[in-house]
């Protein structure tokens, strides 16, 4: 009799657990949470996000346990080849054929703007970690995407303001000729002029570009104290190397790398980059929490992570926590849940998601170390100052986003 009672009780408990699990999974489309990772996997921005960003996303999925409320997490990935058409068509296929719930990664701004239009048309959700254009949560904002790591507004405010304050008041802009470059140039121009400086000239180069000789010669001829590089990735590396070969800094001019990443500094070396001022959203050696995660990443990848790769992990974890809390992967519900939850982890300090989709958090002014000051291969930055979250990003009072009530 006791055995029968125990067996019956166990059966009821098992049935109840099965019903609960089935109910939880029923709230997830197709019984799974599906994430698509879209990035440049083989070109200019490969080291910035690329395969390393996918590894960071997979780390987040593993650390979360591989499922949400009993629903498995499935990851898709694709190379967008820095093509807006390729990116948009890939995401459209993911939504139509694979029922992908959230698209992560995304670097080139032209790709991002095309993809976010697809997401808005199809009621999807995207979290952008690699792109820099501040327009993504300004004139190109949608209710279907969130911008996580950084954008051109804090980069301009952090780096350009610091340089003008130190006497670098005449600028020549060397700009990548697409949405990101234009946005960065515009933000830098505004900051320089508001702080008493002047843009004395500029030139726009195709994306990507391998030969910067003619552009550096124009910069030298301008007589500007500062040559601002409104580009990124391999373009920035090529421009700085060409400037070194032409002796630009020896002639009294200074380079301002307005979007310089850890992988760029590592590739060029401290001899070439020492003393360079830059603004970053995160640095692996900031504190114990950052170091712990970065060292785990290093064991898997063999390189220290960029701020973009760290941001991909952070944003994925925040998304999965929101899905768990909301009990669904419905994009609108999850985005609202994400906005309700503060973002405080190894990546973000004082983070929150605003109505325009911008995740605001503390940013940092850094200086590249000299070879003598560096203790090992990846000891590259000295953090000089913290730029508080509310000061770093574009104020909502200046926003053109249709979601913001001014």
- 57-89 pLDDT, tens digit each: 999 999 999 999 999 999 999 999 999 999 999
Gap between the terminal Cα atoms of the chain: 71
Determine what percent of the chain is predicted with pLDDT higher than 90: 74
Average predicted confidence (pLDDT) for the chain: 91
pLDDT tens-digit readout, 220-266: 999 999 999 999 878 998 999 999 899 988 888 989 988 899 998 99
Judge whether 6 lies within some domain: no
Q: What is the pLDDT of residues 176-212, one digit of tens each?
A: 998 889 988 998 999 999 999 999 999 999 998 999 9
| Cα distances (Å, whole numbers) of residue 35 to 58, 72, 78, 103, 191 | 10, 11, 11, 6, 37
Count of Cβ atoms closer than 10 Å to residue 12 Cβ: 10
98 lies in the same domain as 213: no
CA dist list (Å): 37 to 28, 67, 106, 145: 19, 17, 8, 14
Q: Are residues 386 and 329 in the same domain?
A: no
| pLDDT, position 406 | 64
109 and 174 in a common domain: no
**Pairing mode of beta strands 363-368, 277-280:** antiparallel
Is there a domain that residue 3 lies in? no
Residues 307 and 379 in one domain: no
Give dist(CA 81, CA 87) in Å, integer: 8
- Pairing of β 71-79 and β 67-68: antiparallel
pLDDT at res. 319: 98
Pair 224, 199 in one domain: yes
- Count of Cβ atoms closer than 10 Å to residue 296 Cβ: 14
Considering only the C-alpha atoms of the chain, give the largest distance between any 2 of them, rounded to a whole number of Å: 97
Helix (H) or strand (E) segment spanning residue 339: helix 331-340
What confidence tier does 161 reach under pLDDT thresholds 50, 70, 90? confident
CA dihedral 145, 74, 91, 405 (to 10 degrees): -10
Distances (CA, A) of 73 to 31, 68, 101, 166, 251: 9, 7, 10, 50, 55
Residue 271 and residue 301 share a domain: no
Does residue 352 form part of some domain?
A: yes
How far is it, in rounded angstroms, from Cα 49 to Cα 131? Answer: 10
Question: Does residue 42 belong to any structural domain of this protein?
Answer: yes
Q: Which of 284, 271, 303, 299 is nearest to 371 (CA)?
A: 271
In a domain, 169, yes or no: yes
- Given a cut of 50, whether residue 32 has pLDDT beyond it is yes
**In terms of domains, do 321 and 382 share one?**
no
- How confident is the model at residue 142, as a pLDDT? 97
- Give Cβ neighbours of residue 184 (< 8 Å, ≥ 6 apart): 132, 133, 152, 155, 156, 175, 230, 258, 259
Clarify whether residues 34 and 131 are in a common domain. Answer: yes
Whether the per-residue pLDDT at 4 is higher than 60: the answer is no
CATH code for position 291: 3.40.50.2300
Q: How far apart are CA 147 and CA 355, in angstroms?
A: 11
Does residue 16 surpass a pLDDT of 80? no
Residue 19: band (very low, low, confident or very high) from pLDDT cuts 50, 70, 90: very low
**Total domain count for the chain?**
2
Residue 1 domain-assigned (yes or no) = no
Residue 159 forms part of a structural domain: yes
Task: State yes or no: pLDDT of 39 exceeds 50.
Answer: yes
Q: Are residues 380 and 236 in the same domain?
A: yes
Do the domain assignments include residue 10? Answer: no
Q: What angle do CA 267, 271, 274 make, to 5 degrees?
A: 90
Helices 109-121 and 84-98, packing angle to 10 deg = 30
Q: Averaging pLDDT over each range in 1-15, 151-165, 332-346, which range is the top one?
A: 332-346
**Residue 287 pLDDT exceeds 80:** yes
Cα separation, 231 vs 243, in Å, equals: 14
More confident call, 114 vs 14: 114
Distance in angstroms (rounded) separating the CA atoms of residues 289 and 308:
17
CB 261 within 8 A of CB 20: no
Same domain, 234 and 259: yes
Sheet bearing 67-68, strands edge to edge: 67-68, 71-79, 32-39, 102-105, 126-128, 145-147
Q: Same domain for 161 and 263?
A: yes
256 and 207 share one domain: yes
Helices within 122-269 (DSSP H only): 152-155, 161-165, 179-194, 213-222, 233-245, 262-268
Domain range for 292 is 30-150+287-360
Note the pTM of the prediction, 2 decimals. 0.85
């Amino acid at each position: 009799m006791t055995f029968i009672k125990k067996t019956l009780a166990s059966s009821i408990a098992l049935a109840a657990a099965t019903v609960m699990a089935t109910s939880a999974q029923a709230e997830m489309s197709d019984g799974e949470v599906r994430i698509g990772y879209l990035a440049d996997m083989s070109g200019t921005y490969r080291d910035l996000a690329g395969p390393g960003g996918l590894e960071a996303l997979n780390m987040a999925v593993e650390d979360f346990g591989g499922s949400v409320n009993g629903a498995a997490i499935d990851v898709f990935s694709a190379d967008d080849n820095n093509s807006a058409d390729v990116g948009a068509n890939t995401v459209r296929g993911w939504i139509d054929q694979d029922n992908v719930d959230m698209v992560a990664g995304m670097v080139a701004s032209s790709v991002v703007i095309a993809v976010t239009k697809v997401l808005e048309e199809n009621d999807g959700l995207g979290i952008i970690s690699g792109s820099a254009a501040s327009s993504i949560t300004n004139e190109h904002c949608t209710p279907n995407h969130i911008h996580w790591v950084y954008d051109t507004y804090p980069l301009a405010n952090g780096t350009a303001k610091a340089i003008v304050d130190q006497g670098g008041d005449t600028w020549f802009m060397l700009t990548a000729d697409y949405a990101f470059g234009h946005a960065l140039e515009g933000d830098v121009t505004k900051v320089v002029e508001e702080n008493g400086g002047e843009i004395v000239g500029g030139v726009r180069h195709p994306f990507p570009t391998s030969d910067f000789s003619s552009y550096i010669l124009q910069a030298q001829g301008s007589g500007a104290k500062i040559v601002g590089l409104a580009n990124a990735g391999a373009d920035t590396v090529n421009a700085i190397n060409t400037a070194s070969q032409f002796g630009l800094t020896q002639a009294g001019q200074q380079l301002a790398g307005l979007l310089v990443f850890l992988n760029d500094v590592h590739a060029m070396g401290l001899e070439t980059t020492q003393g360079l001022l830059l603004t970053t959203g995160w640095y692996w050696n900031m504190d114990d929490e950052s170091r712990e995660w970065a060292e785990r990443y290093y064991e898997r990848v063999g390189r220290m992570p960029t701020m973009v790769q760290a941001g991909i992990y952070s944003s994925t974890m925040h998304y999965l926590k929101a899905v768990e809390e909301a009990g669904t992967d419905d994009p609108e519900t999850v985005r609202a849940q994400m906005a309700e939850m503060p973002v405080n982890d190894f990546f973000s300090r004082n983070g929150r998601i605003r109505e325009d989709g911008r995740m605001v958090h503390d940013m940092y002014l850094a200086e590249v170390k000299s070879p003598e000051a560096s203790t090992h291969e990846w000891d590259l930055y000295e953090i000089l100052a913290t730029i508080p979250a509310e000061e770093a990003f574009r104020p909502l009072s200046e926003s053109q986003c249709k979601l913001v009530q001014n």
